[in-house]
Amino acid sequence: MRRIHRVLAVSLAGLAVVLAACSPGEPPTTGEEHSATVSHVHGAVVDPSGEGFLLGTHEGVYRVTADGDVSGREGSVVFDAMGFARVGTSLFASGHPGRNTPAEWGDPHLGIIRSDDAAGSWQSIAFAGTRDFHALTGTPDGTMFGATTDTAALLMSADLGVTWTETGAQVRAFALTADSSGRLVALTPDGVMVSDDDGATFSPWDGAPLLVVAGSSPDGSHLAGIDSSERIWVSSAADTTWEQIGTAHGAAQAITVTDTGALLIVDDSGVTLLPSPSS
């Protein structure tokens, strides 16, 4: 399930953005395929500054405005922003160095780096040069969870990524997300797994679709995902069921959701903003 450094047919300089609006009763879609080139998008989050969204890519972090415009790279440093996640108002990433990455961030793995100014600048805070996190997430109370490429042991941090301990679970997660109910969700080759005890144990999420990407809103009230059949699904912290609300096009790269339930999706057709299914 790993999709490292895969180049897709979408352009970040002129990245195609579809603002999708549907007539009543018509399922939303991410639109048709567009042409151009861009490095793979590893993750998407709602911008902590309230100015749209941020994309973690193979070439750094880029902004998508609330109007759907894709601007240039945030900050001046180029790096492979894997494990891209927002926890509170801070951003976290892992991955690999780029052509002008500071030496203190580490090589060949970035460990954990953190930004407190919406990706304008970053600092290394843990595992510089030694560990590669492909999945990071955080709960609304600030507890972080991470999955690395060197072990199946899930890691947890209670101090915003500075120190980490093993939770006790062995889970091969290629994506992690969490909601305000305390539910930690892991996407694995064996399906969607869920933990209600801070990652100590996991069990299958009965009835969950076979998700390949997932995300949660900053307040943890909404969950969203796309399955292996390109279907878009939503759930909530108050529910254990998933509702299909639309269709993506091609390989899904990233999804995130706002506190009001609006969605940002990155797939083979480009970047699409979808309104909340309840709106």
Q: Of 199, 134, 124, 200, nearest to 162 (Cα)?
A: 124
At residue 9, the pLDDT reads: 33
At residue 7, the pLDDT reads: 31
Phi-psi region of 161 (alpha: psi -120 to 50; beta: other; left: phi over 0): left
258: Cα within 13 Å, side-chain hemisphere: 21
Q: Of 39, 138, 143, 120, nearest to 82 (Cα)?
A: 39
Report d(CA 166, CA 183) in Å as an integer.
17
At residue 2, the pLDDT reads: 30
At residue 32, the pLDDT reads: 58
Q: What average pLDDT values come out for the chain (279 residues) when binned by 10 residues?
A: 32 48 59 53 94 94 86 91 97 97 96 97 97 96 95 97 97 96 96 97 97 97 97 96 95 96 93 88
In the structure encoding, which two tokens stand for residue 130, read together? 């030694």
At residue 39, the pLDDT reads: 64
At residue 25, the pLDDT reads: 54
Domains in the chain, CATH or no CATH each: 17-274 (2.120.10.30)
At residue 20, the pLDDT reads: 53
At residue 8, the pLDDT reads: 33
Q: What is the pTM of this model?
A: 0.89
Cα 97 to Cα 60, 100, 110, 111, distances in angstroms: 10, 8, 7, 10
At residue 265, the pLDDT reads: 95
Q: Of 92, 1, 11, nearest to 54 (Cα)?
A: 92
